[in-house]
Chain A
Amino acid sequence: MKRLILAVLAFTLIMSTAAYAQNLTAKEIIEKADQKQRGETSVGELKMTIIRPTWKREMQMKSWSKGSEYMLILVTGPARDKGTAFLKRENEIWNWQPTIDRTIKLPPSMMMQSWMGSDFTNDDLVRESSIVVDYTHQLLGTETIEGRKCYKIELTPRENAPVVWGKVLSWIDTEEFMQMKAEFYDEDGYLVNTMYGKSIKKMDDRLLPSILEVVPADEEGHKTIVEYLDLNFNQPINESFFSVQNMKRVR
């Protein structure tokens, strides 16, 4: 469960990274997206579905974030986990367990945990804020994804950067600067998983894929889907909102 939540952290950051960029060089696109993401807030409601060949599970949650430093997540379903909340403030994470009336501090290593077997690792994703600093960026050209013209950008980690990927390929819509697709490769150059942005909708003031699908490369029938049911940007949220007492109070 905790791993799922941390994965949401990662997804949200990926999305907002791709949200706004203006133009031209690969680095500028990424940098502008990154700058835009900082200091912004988001309030959302989402559903995550894990699909395996023989089963699937759903989870619903609400999330509040400010930049990449602050985030609060409230689990709203399934019944067993309802009311559980997570708070992230810089490198500290707390977990509220309503059944036992207790706030539990989680070790930072929980952030580095992989989740869902081999689908994804949180490590580099949660450190998405380093996407400008830790990678070099190269514009490879444009390609059409789902009928939309996209910049194809290759991100190569810098030496000694705290990144697990060998490289990342990202397709960003040339008009709306939405990330339509991303491929994550390991250090030996093998594709690990692919993320697709789907079902483009106007959410709050901007057009974004409302569904993100992560498909691992070598696992037949495995998939994780994150669907944004509601997403609002740039509502003023005070930093003090991200507090231990608010984990109990948000609804």
Chain B
Amino acid sequence: MKKQLLVPAFASAALLVLAGCSSDGQSGDGLFIDVPDIPMAEELGAAEDASLDIVAWSGFVEPEWSDQFTEDTGCVVNRRVAGTSDEMVTLMRTGEYDLVSASGDASLRLIAGGDVAPINLDLIPNFGDDIVEGMKGQIYDTINGQSYGVPIGRGANILQYNSEVVTETPESWDVVWEADSPYAGQIIAYDAPIYIADAAVYLMTHEPDLGITNPYALDETQLAAAVELLQQQNEIVAEYWADPVAQITSFVGGTTVVGTSWEVLRKFTEDTEKFGGTLPVEGSTGWSDAWMLSSEADAPNCAYLWMDYTSSPEVNGAIAMNFGMAPANAAFCETSDEAAQHCEDFNATDEEYFSNVWFWTTPIEQCVDGRTDVTCTNFQQWTEAWLTVKG
């Protein structure tokens, strides 16, 4: 399973960069985002004769479970693997696809662009009490009280370290941010604009005067402070990773000893004794994916059937294990010892753990922390700022 995973994960590497969603908590009470009015399905019709075209991360749609679905429903699944969130958005805008496994930074754009339709959760029986609390009603899939996505799984960006060099578990992210870090020159950082949020998370604790309350709602002053921190970090970074293979080889090959990681990548080092992982006191960023239905879907019934099918404990768990993330459906964790171990490894039901995780969300001009007196910086500004950090 691990080996199998590595290859698809490698291919999908870059894409996860931008994946993610808004974090912690419901969309703020006062937060109203202006989105196009797309009608929602009221009832489920018969499965269409058309094929179900899905844009997905590598590992999300595999014959292991899609063949059974086709047998059950008669819907033929046609998978298109995308490499980045941006690519997903572009593909969905062609109108040729019915479903997408959107990550948080893509989902807001898709909703705002009118590319995806609201979802009638009543038509998805498997979306029930077993869906973990932390993945219900997140801003990435629920706008203005209306759901747009069916959660698949989530994961945190953890601090990984080589225990032969970093002998004590770091309590703080300061080992990767501060210029006097004992590991200067051996640090790995994530290579994407969304990584600015990681700097913001650190600043929330260490520079409270900046007044950051949500790392995805940064005004220009706050963004400048984050960029300054990133530039300071650039001096001590050995390299940046966007590709999982690069990240794994960087640790295993000894180029880096501490830096951003995912739980699944730590497992891929095949030496979890040597490579430890922790969620430092400041908390961290993370990512979360959900199925979203195209507003121009030509097989919406099949799409609903698919979303229901993949929300079942077994299938949702299979996807989570295949990709290496925490499943959305907690019932999976009780299906077997192996499942229980997986849930434990990935903190699937540990809401306290995830309460400290800010899931990736596309930064938009409207401050998602609810502030109305300032304009926040949008993702394009983040992209430009990020290129400045590395330039």
A binds B: no
- Give me the interface of B with A, judged by CB distance under 8 Å: none
- Give me the interface of A with B, judged by CB distance under 8 Å: none
